[in-house]
Structure 1
Amino acid sequence: MDYLIRFSTQHESFRRAEIEALTQLVNNKKTQNGVDVDVDVDILEYSPTSPFCLLRIKPALSTQDMYERVAASFISHSIQAKAIYEVWGSGNDYQALHQDVRVRSQHLWARYQSQPVSFKFSIDSYFGKRSGSEQREMINQFAYFGFQGKVDMKKPQQEWCILEEWESPLHLSNSNGQQVDDSLTSKQPRRIFLGRKIASSRRHLVEKHDLKKRPYISTTSMDAELALITATLALASPGKLFLDPFCGTGGFMVAAAELGAVVLGSDIDGRSFRGKGGEGVERGVGRNMKLYGIDALFGDCLTSDLTNTPFRGSGTRWLDGIISDIPYGVREGLKVLGRRQPAKEGDDDGSLVKEPHRIGGVLAYTLPGYIAPKKPYSFSQLLLDILDFAASTLVDGGRLAFWMPTANEDEEGEQEATGRPSHGLLEFKHECVQPFNKWSRRLLVYERIAGELDDAADEHAAAQKPLVKGTSADELNPFRRRYFQSFAKEPNG
C-alpha cells in the first residue's frame, strides 16, 4: 500500500533519518497495532526540495484496516511531518490524476458509497495559491465518487486532500535573481496527488514547547523542534530510560520526557539545572517539567562531568538512550573537573599529590556550596569519551544522539571534510546537518550493537586515542579557535 507524507518545510536533511526512526518505533509497538510481523517502508519518491514523500509499507498485510493502523502509528511519532495520506491517485496534470484515481482506487469507493460517512475535501497547494472558486471547481471534479454521506467541514469522519506541488520561487528567477515574467511561468502545478487522510502527526508539540513560553531557559537552550527531533531519532518512548550528560537547562530532558521516556541529567555546573539562586531543580529544570505535566517522568539531575561521572557502572548497561548537545567551548572554554596546573612533583603518573583543602578544619568538598576546581579539556577527546560512555552504558539497540559543530571550510578556504568519531560497539546510523554561514551543527546518531566490552580491546583503544597537547581553551579546541577567527584566514596574516 502506498502512502504520501506531507512534511513541514524545515530541516530537510533530518527527514530520511526520521522515517527510519519511525519504522523502528512502529515495530516496537507492533503488538498494540495488531500486527504480528516487523514492517518496513520503501521510499518510492522523495526530493529534499519537496515536502512530499511517497512511500510503500511492506510486507503485504492481510487487511486494509491493518495497513491503516500501521500508517497511523507511524505518523503519530513524527515531529517533522504534518500528516500521512493513503494515495488514491497522482499525475502531472488533472487529466492524468483522474485517470490514475480510477485505476488505482476504484475498488475503495464502495466502502464510502454504501454507508453515510461524513466527509470533506481540502486543498494543499505548495508554492501555489487557489481562489475559492477554483477550489470548488477542483473538488466538484470528483463527484463521480458518488459518496452518500454529508459534507462536514469541521469534524468529518473522512477527509480527502488534493495536494499540489508548484514550481518554487527559486525556479522562477533568472540567473540575476530577477523574477521571470508572469507570462513565461507555468500555469499548472508540476505534480498533483489525491489522498485520503489517515492521521496527523504530533507536530503540534513544536508549538507547545516553544521556548518563548517556557519559564526556564538560557541563551544556549536548544530549539524545541530540534530537541524533539533528536529525542525521536534516539527512539525515546514510554518504558525507556534516557540521560543527558550535559543537560544545562534540560531542553533535551523535556523533549525525551514529552515522548514518554524517564529522564536523568547531569552537568558540570549544577547552577544550570537548579535555576537562579541555586533554589533546586524544582525551580530550574523541574519548573519546565511541571509546566508540561511530565514531572512524573523526571528522575533527577546531579553535578558531574562526563569524565568523572558516577553513572558509569562496572559491567552494567542500563540506559536506553543518551541525547545531548555537547558543549562546544565557544562561549566558555570546555572544562572538566581537575586541577589546571600540572604537578611539579607527585606520583609516577604525574598527578598532583597534596593535602585536601580544609576550611575551619572541615574538608572543603564536604561543605554546602563547594565548587570543585576545573581545567580545560580537549573537544576531540570529549567526543571519544561520550562514545566510550555510550558503549559501556547503553543496552543492545540503545541509541546515542548528540550534536557537534564543524567548520564548512578549512583555513585555506577550501571545503573541509568532516571527521566523524567511531566506536567498535556503536553502529553509525545518521548524520543530519543544520548549516549556518561558515559552520554547521551536525546531529550524529549511533546504535549500540550486541556484544560486551572486551577489557583488553578497551585498553588498547584507550591507548590509541590521540594525545591532544595544550593547556589553554584555544589549544585544546580547534573549533573554538576557528570560531573566533571567523573561519577565515586573515589577509597577509
Structure 2
Amino acid sequence: MRYINNMRKMKKYLLWFANENIEFRRPEIDSLLALMNIKMKFLQEPQNSEPFWIVQFESEDDVKKLAERSVSLKMCLELWAYAETTTKLHDILKSYQKSFYESHIATEQSFKIKVETFCKHFTQKEKVEKIEQFNYLPVEGTVKLKDPDVCLQYIEYYGTIPTKVPDEPYYVFFGKWITDGLRQLIQTLSLKSRKFIGNTSMDPELSLLMANQAQIKNGDMVLDPFVGSGSLLIAAAQFGGYVIGTDINYLMLHGKTKPSRIKQKVREINESIKANMEQYKIGHRYLDVLVNDFSCSFWRDDVKFDAIITDPPYGIREATERVGTEKENYIVSEEHLSTHIPSKVEYGISRIYGDLISFSLKHLKLGGRLVCWFPIFRETYTEDGLPSHPCLKLVANSEQVLSKLTSRRLLTFEKIEEPTPGSKINIQNILDFREKYFETREETRSEKRIREAELRNQNRIKYLNKK
C-alpha cells in the first residue's frame, strides 16, 4: 500500500537525451539509479530511437541528482502536458485550474517560454509565433529572456529521420525546465585541448559513460590495467575515484611516443597522464601509473579495487604484447641483466580477456564492477562468444558500430560472489579478432600497389630464371 501511495505522489517528468550513443542511455541511467537508490517509473516504455522518456520520480531532488551525473541526458522537464497534436496539447493546458499555474510560478517570479524542435528547423519568427499561442496561460510574472526565475519549455518532435520529416509533429510536449544533464563536461574534457593524448585516447563522452556504468563514487579505488594515455582515469577521477593505471608500453607512460597531433613534431617535456590530471584540477585523485605486463600480475593478493574500467588492445591500432620469448631455455646472463630489455610475444585476445576476468575475480570488491570494451564481428556475434564467469554478472552489453563488419561492445560485469576453487572462466568461444580482421579487411590503395609491385617483381625473376 505504501508503494502505491508513493506512486500516486510521484510527479511526471520528461527526460530528453542527446541524439548520440543511443544504446548507452539505458545502461547509464540504470547504473546511476541503482548507485543513488533512486526510484523511477516509466509511464511510457521508451523506443530505442526516440530521444525522450516519460517517467515519474518521487521528488525533484532525485531528478537533479540523476542529471548532475548523466552525460546522456540533455535536459529534464517537469512534464505538464504532452499530446500527438498541438490542438490537444493546448486543450489540456487550458483545462488546468489557475491554482495549478500559481503553484509553479509565483506572481513576483520572472519567466520565459523556450521553443525547441527535434529533426526540423524553424526560424526565430516561427518560434515566436508558437510562443504567442500560449498567451492564454494565467501567468502574471514578468517576461525575462535572460536568466528568468522559471523557464517553460515547448518541444515539437518530428521523428529521427531527417529525410522523412512529416508536416506535423508526432508529439508535442510542454513543461517546466528543471535542470540540464552533464553534457558540458564532454566539452571541458575535449581531446582537442587536452595536454597529453595518444592515437587511441578514449572519447570523453564514452569515458564518462564507462565511469558511470562502473558506478564510481567519491573515495573509490579505480584501476585501468591497459591505461594508455589515461582517458579513463580522468573520467573516473571526475566522479571522485582515486585512480591508478598500468601498461606495458614504457614509452607511452613516460610521454615519449610519437605525437598524435598532425602539426606536432615532438612531444613537450611535461606531457604525461599526471599533467592531464593537473590540467583538470583532479591531480589529488591521481595515485600513479606503473609499467607492467598484465599477464604477470604483481599485486598482493589482498589488494581490492572498487571498479576496473579499461579498453584492452585488439591488435589493430595498438599491439597486443606480453613479456616472453619463443626461444627455449632462454637465460639472461648476470652481466647483461641490468641493461636487459625483455623481449615480447603475441598476447592473444582470448588470453587477455581470460586474464582480465581472472584478475577481476581476485582483486575486485564484492559488488564492484568491471567495465571493458570487447571487439566483435557483427555478422557472427553471439553472447556465447563473450568472456564470462558465474561470479561476474553481465548487467549491461551495448554496441558501438565501428564499420560495416565490425563493432565493439561495452560490457559491464558486477561481482556477485567470491569464486570457489575449480570454477572456470569461459573464454573458449572468443574469436581471434585480429586474425579475422586482417583476413576480411579490404586492401588500401597503397597496400594494393605494394602487392602488385611484388607480384611484378616475382614474375620478372621467374622470367629471368627461365632464360
TM over 0.5: yes
Is the Cα contact below 8 Å between 1:112 and 1:147 reproduced in 2?
Answer: no
Report Cα offsets for 1:238-275 as digits up to 9, x if no partner. Answer: 22111000001111111111222111000011221220
- What is aligned with 1:379? 349
Is the Cα contact below 8 Å between 1:399 and 1:446 reproduced in 2?
Answer: yes
The correspondence for 1:482, drawn from 419, 428, 436, is 436
- What is aligned with 2:230? 250
Is the Cα contact below 8 Å between 2:50 and 2:159 reproduced in 1?
Answer: no
Cα gap change, 1:325 to 1:20, in 2 (>3 Å): same
The correspondence for 1:203, drawn from 183, 192, 197, is 183
Which structure 2 residues correspond to residues 356-435 of structure 1 after superposition, within 5 A? 356-359=332-335, 363-364=337-338, 371-410=341-380, 416-418=381-383, 419-435=385-401
- What is aligned with 1:99? 91
Please say if 1:193 is aligned against 2:159.
no
Matched letter for residue 434 of structure 1: Q
The correspondence for 2:139, drawn from 141, 144, 147, is 147
- What is aligned with 1:64? none
Cα gap change, 1:92 to 1:467, in 2 (>3 Å): closer
- What is aligned with 1:324? 310
Cα gap change, 1:358 to 1:257, in 2 (>3 Å): same
Cα gap change, 1:280 to 1:378, in 2 (>3 Å): farther
1:215 Cα deviation from its structure 2 partner: 1.6
TM-score, structure 1 normalization: 0.79
Report Cα offsets for 1:351-375 as digits up to 9, x if no partner. Answer: x4x6543336xx33xx5xx533322
Which structure 2 residues correspond to residues 299-338 of structure 1 after superposition, within 5 A? 299-311=287-299, 313-314=300-301, 316=302, 318-338=304-324
Counterparts of 1:79 and 1:243, CA distance in 2:
21
Counterparts of 1:141 and 1:234, CA distance in 2:
46
1:467 Cα deviation from its structure 2 partner: 11
Please say if 1:284 is aligned against 2:284.
no
Matched letter for residue 273 of structure 1: L
Is the Cα contact below 8 Å between 1:88 and 1:105 reproduced in 2?
Answer: no
Cα gap change, 1:377 to 1:132, in 2 (>3 Å): closer
Cα gap change, 1:284 to 1:111, in 2 (>3 Å): same
Matched letter for residue 24 of structure 2: F
1:196 Cα deviation from its structure 2 partner: 1.0
Is the Cα contact below 8 Å between 1:123 and 1:135 reproduced in 2?
Answer: yes
1:425 Cα deviation from its structure 2 partner: 1.1
Is the Cα contact below 8 Å between 1:340 and 1:376 reproduced in 2?
Answer: no
- What is aligned with 1:221? 201
Matched letter for residue 407 of structure 1: F
Q: Secondary structure at the match of 1:306?
A: coil
Is the Cα contact below 8 Å between 1:245 and 1:266 reproduced in 2?
Answer: yes
- What is aligned with 1:55? 55
In structure 1, stretches of 5+ residues that fail to align are: 28-37, 62-66, 173-184, 344-351, 411-415, 469-476
Counterparts of 2:382 and 2:429, CA distance in 1:
21
Counterparts of 1:102 and 1:305, CA distance in 2:
67
1:102 Cα deviation from its structure 2 partner: 4.7
Counterparts of 2:97 and 2:212, CA distance in 1:
33
Is the Cα contact below 8 Å between 1:281 and 1:301 reproduced in 2?
Answer: no
- What is aligned with 2:108? 116
Is the Cα contact below 8 Å between 1:77 and 1:201 reproduced in 2?
Answer: yes
- What is aligned with 1:166? 158
Is the Cα contact below 8 Å between 2:353 and 2:427 reproduced in 1?
Answer: no
Cα gap change, 1:399 to 1:41, in 2 (>3 Å): farther
Q: Secondary structure at the match of 1:239?
A: coil
Cα gap change, 1:320 to 1:202, in 2 (>3 Å): same
- What is aligned with 2:407? 440
Counterparts of 1:467 and 1:11, CA distance in 2:
28
Which structure 2 residues correspond to residues 47-86 of structure 1 after superposition, within 5 A? 47-57=47-57, 61=58, 67-86=59-78
Counterparts of 1:282 and 1:258, CA distance in 2:
22
- What is aligned with 1:294? 282
Cα gap change, 1:283 to 1:129, in 2 (>3 Å): closer
In structure 2, stretches of 5+ residues that fail to align are: 1-10, 259-266, 444-467
Cα gap change, 1:281 to 1:54, in 2 (>3 Å): farther
Matched letter for residue 20 of structure 1: D
1:104 Cα deviation from its structure 2 partner: 7.2
Matched letter for residue 8 of structure 1: A
Cα gap change, 1:186 to 1:467, in 2 (>3 Å): closer
Cα gap change, 1:467 to 1:483, in 2 (>3 Å): closer
Is the Cα contact below 8 Å between 2:18 and 2:74 reproduced in 1?
Answer: yes
Counterparts of 2:349 and 2:268, CA distance in 1:
29
- What is aligned with 2:264? none
1:50 Cα deviation from its structure 2 partner: 1.9
Aligned length: 423
